[in-house]
Amino acid sequence: MAARPRKEIGINPNGAILEIRAGTGGTEAGLFARDLWQMYRKFGEGRNWKFSVASENRGELGSIRQITSAVSGENIYNLLKGESGVHRVQRIPKTESSGRIHTSTATVAVLPAVSSQQSVSLNPRDLEIKTFRASGPGGQFVNKVETAVRITHKPTGVIAESQESRNQQRNKERALEILKAKLVYLLRKQNKEKIAELRRAQVGTAERSEKIKTYNFPQNRLTDHRTGHKWHNLEEIMEGKLDKILLATEN
């Protein structure tokens, strides 16, 4: 009797967890992370997507060190999944007095929302749950009560947190939702890496850069290093005009 194919963990194409982090480049990397966040929001708002920020860590000049948001709306995951990776920017920072072009990076992760029909089960003994006071821009505390929640999955070290609500239980539920999405993403990534290792053993390997896209402001150009596509309307792209870009990588 033939073996049954393994059933893949279900995902909801109309939901995703979007996480953006500043990479190398100090404050300029954080400003670029902020620009990417605003770019995706503007694109999503034009499609009536709903963004619910679970946690964020702001830095100087309104920069973003890290931001995590649940996003809901039609076909979100299929459109955004190709955005996961390292995004590189080349531009003259506002803080640069000599006019030199700097290169900075930010990372984008798009995690699939877990289908309610195929939810991930978690052992409470594997979870470390801590509460803390929510903070606002600049790191100052904005709540007097510890309503924010941080959950660590001890077997993997994966962490999720939420401080969007003033209700601790609601934040716990949101943090668990993000944690499940991260664990599903980790499992899928590990499976892909195992397949990639088998393929490399058969056909060899080739070196390639981590970056998936470069945003070159002096040349008004966006380059997708995976497909070779180039666009010369960077200002419009940063305003959320992403239809052609996302359709070029959707599969």
pLDDT at 8: 41
| Residues 143-174 pLDDT 10s | 557 889 999 999 989 999 999 888 899 999 99
Structural domain includes residue 37: yes
Instruction: Specify the pTM.
Output: 0.73
d(CA 72, CA 241): 19
Separation CA 179–CA 186 (nearest Å): 10
The answer as to whether 5 is a domain residue is no
Kindly indicate the confidence band of residue 251, based on its pLDDT and cuts at 50, 70 and 90.
low
**What number is the average pLDDT over the span 234-244?**
95
Question: Which pLDDT score is estimated for 119?
Answer: 57
Instruction: Say if 181 falls within a structural domain.
Output: yes
Question: Does the structure show a pLDDT above 50 at 4?
Answer: no
Percent of the chain with pLDDT over 90: 49
Q: Report yes or no on 227 lying in a domain.
A: yes
95 falls within a domain: yes
CATH number at residue 118: 3.30.70.1660
Q: Which domain holds residue 17?
A: 11-203+210-249
Q: pLDDT tens digit string along 89-146? A: 999 987 776 788 999 999 998 888 766 545 567 889 999 999 988 765 545 545 557 8
> Picking from 12-21, 104-113, 180-189, 198-207, which range would have the lowest pLDDT averaged per residue?
198-207
Residue 4 lies in a domain: no
Q: Given a cut of 70, is residue 67 above it in pLDDT? A: yes
One-character DSSP codes across 168-221: HHHHHHHHHHHHHHHHHHHHHHHHHHHHHHHHHHHH------SEEEEEETTTTE
- Quick check: is 56 in a domain? yes
Bridge-partner residues for 223, per DSSP?
Answer: 214, 230
**Residue 41 covered by a domain:** yes
* Predicted pLDDT of residue 79: 92
Q: Is the alpha carbon torsion for 225, 86, 36, 179 positive or negative?
A: positive
Domains in the chain, number: 1
pLDDT confidence of 7, banded at 50, 70, 90? very low
Q: What is the pLDDT of residues 31-56, one digit of tens each?
A: 999 999 999 999 999 999 999 999 89
Rounded to 10 degrees, what is the CA torsion of 206, 209, 211, 213?
-70
